[in-house]
Amino acid sequence: MKIIMLGAPGAGKGTQAKMIAEKYGIPHVSTGDIFRANLKAGTELGLEAKKYMDAGQLVPDELTVRILLDRVAQDDCKNGYVLDGFPRTIPQAEVLEDALTKLNDSVDYAINVEVPDEAIVERMGGRRACVKCGATYHIVNIPPKKEGICDTCGSELILRDDDKPETVQKRLNVYHEQTQPLVDFYSKKGILKDVDGTKGMQEIFAEICGILG
């Protein structure tokens, strides 16, 4: 079972990806994690990617797909995987599709976690992070025991710049421009499944499990 997770930043697709991976016994494959692992291990692909990153450039789609295919060729992916964070654009989706087709392979499901922009701005604006240990909270969903103070280390909690409404809206604008077209792309392939991301975490998961069987 090969799954691609779609959804705006803050829609909760990463959380759902981890839950899917755990339930179905398949790896949660995040492109960020793969890059870090390759850089840390000093692999040939990692060193190639590092050249672009050191120059402040984006890693080309073709190289990102090579790194991704290297990861999904490993034994733990033989029963499938959940892709989180890739593809982000139509060209990336096309490069991935071409590469998988050459391996007589394809994606089974593209799950789109739908949440309106205003709900995401509100959701992200409620996040708080500890300045010292990095623990994260949410003023509504996961509040600290004492307002503004970290349960773990007692340090101050802050609203990160990334979670401020104006920053979130900018990220959403980029998502709508670059990534949302993937919804149509996978819909035309007949593998898109929409889920309502405004529901509770377990409700969303139950809906996804109903799709995956």
Catalytically active residues are: 13, 88, 127, 160, 171
Question: For residues 28 and 18, what is the distance between their CA atoms, to the nearest angstrom?
Answer: 6
Question: For residues 213 and 3, what is the distance between their CA atoms, to the nearest angstrom?
Answer: 13
Quote the distance between the C-alpha of residue 156 and its chain's center: 28
Beta strand 28-30 pairing with 127-130: unpaired
Residue 175 in tokens: 């998502």
Residue 124 in tokens: 């992200």
Residue 104 in tokens: 């007589």
Question: For residues 187 and 40, what is the distance between their CA atoms, to the nearest angstrom?
Answer: 37
Question: For residues 94 and 143, what is the distance between their CA atoms, to the nearest angstrom?
Answer: 42
Question: DSSP secondary structure string, 124-187?
Answer: HHTEEEETTT--EEETTTB--SBTTB-TTT-PBEE--GGGSHHHHHHHHHHIIIIITHHHHHHH
